[in-house]
Amino acid sequence: MSQDTDNRLFEQRRVEKVVEEINDKEEKLYVRSAGLKESVVELRKTFWDDVTVNVDEPDDIIETQESIKQQAALLSEKERFHGKISEELQTLQRLRNTPYFGRIDFIEDPGTEKDSIYIGIASLMDHAEEDFLVYDWRAPISSLYYDYSPGPAHYQTLDSTISGEITLKRQFIIKQGIIEGMFDTGVTIGDELLQQALGNNASTTMKNIVATIQKEQNKIIRNERSKLLIVQGVAGSGKTSAALQRIAYLMYRHREELHADNVVLFSPNPLFSSYISNVLPELGETNVRQMTFLDYLSKGIGDKLTIESPFEQMEYVLTQKESEHYPIRMKSMDYLSTLDFKQLIDSYTTALIENGIEFKPIKFRGRTLIAKEQIHAYFYSLDKEIAIPNKMEMVSKWLQQELSKYQQQELAEDWVMEQIELLDKEDYMRAYHRAEEQMQSSTVQDEEKILRRYMVRRFFQPLKKRVEQLAFVNILATYQQLFTEWNPKELPNDWQDIRAQIATDLAQKFLTWENATPYLYFKGRLLGDSADRSVRQLIIDEAQDYSAFQFAYIKHLFPYTRMTLLGDVNQAIYTHVSKENPLIPAEHEESHERITLTKSYRSTKQIVDFTTYFAPGDEPIEPFNREGGKPELINLRNESEWTTTLLTCVEEQLEKGNETVALVCKTLEESEQIYHLLQDKLAIHLVNEETYTFEKGVLVLPIYLAKGIEFDAVIIPDASSAHYCSESEKSLFYTACTRAMHALIMISKDEPNLFIKAVPEALYNVKS
Ligand SMILES: Nc1ncnc2c1ncn2[C@@H]1O[C@H](COP(=O)(O)OP(=O)(O)OP(=O)(O)O)[C@@H](O)[C@H]1O
């Protein structure tokens, strides 16, 4: 028998032993779980049997409460324990299929004793609970696997550095407990395994990469020292993957204090959110709080104003070039994204200390109780040194007191009795019982009076609540004045035009995307920010799409949060944003660490070589060595051939075994046109802002919704120069092409665009 066969046999036997151990453990856990379940059910049924209920005397009541508390604590402890066992069972089930994916043999200095470390998605101990059969990929020792090839190596534990030598590094492909592949590796974590992983068809949900994390990616995943970690990574370099494995790593390392609720992930669009939603559960972790920045802003702004989404803004930029207001809107987009505008808001807020805040009158049953002028006068009578939000709280307290006085005055009014009579039976009884209860504890013994009190309180409560929420401040009107009446000392360029356009939008209660963050920032300056202090880790994917203003606002909102920003300057499709590259914090800002990923894993070498030619930035791009066909450019002889060509391309790709074929368009408008053109001819799905999941098959979608996602084959339906005509559209075209894993086809109705023309002809095939 050869050494290889020997090794294979040895390893297969070990897998079987581990699987046996898993089965054993599983069985034992099932027994415990069933017993616990029974006892939980029993305890729920008999909950009250063991509780001594006695409410005769105050002391008895306290004793009863204690008894209930004890019983509830017992129940929740058992439930918690049961939950823990279920989690352990799930982990075992995951391990049974693939108990591990890697092995390293390590000899610690000084010494000769070799330890074989097997690495999988979770730890597993032997039945004596003494030795690790499998180490969690996040354990300190497992970093050896990702960071080193055989030879000298070291890893960091909580308090020391352990050095030694790796004598063997082995990878496994294990499915259903059978070793399907086994490779002893040299320099990097096996190309074979990575080749296999990347050669598969695109999936509609993202997969974890723990078996093949690369050294550079591991630096991102295990970075714990940086408060602000910035990752610039070329398209397909594994930024999103690294971000997700990083979350899983941090949750493992800080199990006690970091829970899913303490981690927020800002993602580019809802489709992307669902695309990545499987990764953490696959790794045995709960999904963290995931939202788009639009979701976040909408929550803060409320539903009284309509907010343009970033996608609508993008659609405007790309389709409304001929509109009369376009040039000014573009300028306003630029300006509102800058820190200069943030400063302008700050200056305006300072001016408001003297005068200018607008208030809303407090009205009750159509009558003004407190005029806005009165509120204004009260606010401006307060000490100027006190911060505006604190003064708002003082005004709120004063208003509450004033309202209580009015509440008193209303008691005798006729409407109160009318309202009591209008109560339906149920409400009346409730009111009546309340009245009865109060009569027992009150000196007032008059039932009508008590009913009246009840009724007036019921009417005043919502009003008081709104006062407590500071709804008496007219944020919109005050913000509007910034554009209508206030004259800043230093006028920004084109301010007159910009402000007129914004004032018109605001008059219609409409916030453009570029104005949404400034508005919410301004609101916070007046009312105070409701910073979410529970957030410990904030991860921003596609960070290149955040403007300087947006980024500053996020930092302002989460001052104590550790942040990871991941992005690619090449994919900065929101052109106004890229002017001030938010991936590079300004010099005066806090320190940060920057990691650059240059290797692209998603696309074949041929696609990466092709797209690198028109990547907008100067970042080096290195393809992972996976072969495929050259990108294809189809030059139409006649535009009438377009529909048939599209159909043929799609069919060809499906026949080649590509399961997700995406027609990636510049705009939603274009996507809709194509969808209508093809929907009767093939099964095709249109993806729009409201699409939350996608199926395998043929999709048509705009580039900005394809962000972060990948497809087996990408077809660019119109890659002609008339369609992608300006330099500013380079990032769009680059982003579209880099969504392709295995095949890229571009159709041109006339001249191909200038980006394609920049690529040497040897790098793509031309068909006509
Ligand atoms: N170490 C790895 N092992 C296996 N697959 C990997 C690895 N790194 C990246 N990939 C794969 O490469 C593809 C791209 O990864 P990912 O989407 O994380 O990159 P990205 O940098 O966020 O891309 P983009 O910015 O272009 O959206 C995915 O299919 C991912 O699974």
pLDDT in tens, 215-234: 999 999 999 989 999 999 99
From the list 705, 716, 704, 706, the residue with the least C-alpha distance to 743 is 716
Would you give the DSSP letter of residue 503?
A: H
> Which residue has the least CA distance to atom 15 on ligand 1?
238
Could you tell me the two tokens for 96? 């049974």
236 is in an annotated binding site: yes
> Which residue has the least CA distance to atom 1 on ligand 1?
213
Residue 34, number of CB atoms within 10 A of its CB: 11
40 is in an annotated binding site: no
Residue 191, number of CB atoms within 10 A of its CB: 17
Residue 289, number of CB atoms within 10 A of its CB: 15
DSSP run (H or E) holding 14: helix 3-45
Q: What are phi and psi of 602, to 5 degrees?
A: -65, -55
From the list 709, 728, 515, 467, the residue with the least C-alpha distance to 616 is 728
> Which residue has the least CA distance to atom 16 on ligand 1?
238
234 is in an annotated binding site: yes
Strands (E) located in 675-723: 684-686, 697-702, 711-716
> Which residue has the least CA distance to atom 27 on ligand 1?
708
> Which residue has the least CA distance to atom 23 on ligand 1?
236
Q: What are phi and psi of 169, to 5 degrees?
A: -135, 120
What per-residue confidence (pLDDT) applies to 439?
A: 64
> Which residue has the least CA distance to atom 25 on ligand 1?
235
> Which residue has the least CA distance to atom 5 on ligand 1?
209
What per-residue confidence (pLDDT) applies to 420?
A: 79
Q: Write the CB contacts of 619 (distance below 8 Å, at least 6 apart in sequence).
A: 232, 234, 569, 570, 596, 598
What is the atom index within ligand 1 of the atom nearest the CA of 244?
A: 18
DSSP run (H or E) holding 573: none
Q: What is the pLDDT of residues 532-554, one digit of tens each?
A: 778 999 999 999 989 889 988 99
From the list 379, 400, 378, the residue with the least C-alpha distance to 389 is 379
111 is in an annotated binding site: no
- Cα gap 98→295, rounded to integer Å: 38
Tell me the three state secondary structure of residue 557.
Answer: helix
What per-residue confidence (pLDDT) applies to 366?
A: 87
- Cα gap 552→342, rounded to integer Å: 9
More confident position, 323 or 559 = 323
> Which residue do the tokens 């191909």 mark?
752
Q: What angle do CA 31, 18, 102 make, to 5 degrees?
A: 135
> Which residue has the least CA distance to atom 30 on ligand 1?
238
Confidence of residue 679 (pLDDT cuts 50, 70, 90): very high
Residue 189: pLDDT over 60: no
Looking at residues 76-99, what average pLDDT do you find?
82
Confidence of residue 728 (pLDDT cuts 50, 70, 90): confident
Give 183's strand partners.
171
396 C-alpha to ligand 1 centroid (Å): 51
Looking at residues 326-339, what average pLDDT do you find?
91
Confidence of residue 409 (pLDDT cuts 50, 70, 90): confident
Residue 682 · residue 717 · CB < 8 Å: no
Looking at residues 590-595, what average pLDDT do you find?
85
Tell me the three state secondary structure of residue 138.
Answer: coil
More confident position, 107 or 109 = 107
What is the atom index within ligand 1 of the atom nearest the CA of 235?
A: 26
% of the chain exceeding 70 in pLDDT? 92
> Which residue do the tokens 């049953």 mark?
365
Task: Choose which residue among 601, 737, 738 to substitute to test ligand 1 binding: the one with the highest number of ligand atoms within 8 A of its C-beta.
Answer: 601
Q: What are phi and psi of 370, to 5 degrees?
A: -130, 120
Q: What is the pLDDT of residues 440-452, one digit of tens each?
A: 665 555 777 878 8
231 C-alpha to ligand 1 centroid (Å): 14
Residue 416: pLDDT over 80: yes
Give the alpha-carbon dihedral of 749, 750, 756, 759, to 10 degrees. 130
Residue 34: pLDDT over 90: no
More confident position, 493 or 394 = 394
Q: Where are the alpha helices (DSSP H) in 172-269?
A: 191-199, 215-221, 239-253
Residues with CB under 6 A from ligand 1: 194, 197-198, 207, 209, 212-214, 217, 233, 235-241, 568, 601-602, 708, 710, 738
Burial 224-249 (b: 16+ CB within 10 A, else e): eebebbbbbbbbbbbbbbbbbbbbbb
735 C-alpha to ligand 1 centroid (Å): 14
Q: Write the CB contacts of 159 (distance below 8 Å, at least 6 apart in sequence).
A: none
ipTM: 0.99
Burial 712-721 (b: 16+ CB within 10 A, else e): bbbbbbbbbb
More confident position, 639 or 587 = 639
Confidence of residue 723 (pLDDT cuts 50, 70, 90): very high
302 is in an annotated binding site: no
More confident position, 73 or 170 = 170
More confident position, 537 or 690 = 537
Looking at residues 554-577, what average pLDDT do you find?
84
648 C-alpha to ligand 1 centroid (Å): 29
What is the atom index within ligand 1 of the atom nearest the CA of 214?
A: 1
Q: What are phi and psi of 674, to 5 degrees?
A: -65, -40
What is the atom index within ligand 1 of the atom nearest the CA of 206?
A: 31
- Cα gap 722→479, rounded to integer Å: 41
240 is in an annotated binding site: yes
Q: Write the CB contacts of 659 (distance below 8 Å, at least 6 apart in sequence).
A: 201, 202, 696, 697, 712
> Which residue has the least CA distance to atom 28 on ligand 1?
602
Residue 21: pLDDT over 80: yes
What per-residue confidence (pLDDT) applies to 50?
A: 67
220 C-alpha to ligand 1 centroid (Å): 14
What per-residue confidence (pLDDT) applies to 55?
A: 63
Looking at residues 173-177, what average pLDDT do you find?
91
- Label residue 529 left, alpha or beta by phi (over 0 means left) and psi (-120 to 50 means alpha): beta
Looking at residues 607-615, what average pLDDT do you find?
94
From the list 435, 328, 415, the residue with the least C-alpha distance to 367 is 415
709 C-alpha to ligand 1 centroid (Å): 9
Average pLDDT value for the chain: 88
Amino acid sitting at position 250: L
Residue 201: pLDDT over 70: yes
Could you tell me the two tokens for 491? 């006028």
29 C-alpha to ligand 1 centroid (Å): 37
Confidence of residue 639 (pLDDT cuts 50, 70, 90): confident
659 C-alpha to ligand 1 centroid (Å): 18
What per-residue confidence (pLDDT) applies to 644?
A: 93
What per-residue confidence (pLDDT) applies to 46?
A: 72
242 C-alpha to ligand 1 centroid (Å): 8
Overall pTM surpassing 0.95 (yes/no) = no
286 C-alpha to ligand 1 centroid (Å): 21
What is the atom index within ligand 1 of the atom nearest the CA of 568?
A: 25
Task: Choose which residue among 147, 188, 198, 704 to substitute to test ligand 1 binding: the one with the highest number of ligand atoms within 8 A of its C-beta.
Answer: 198
What per-residue confidence (pLDDT) applies to 111?
A: 75
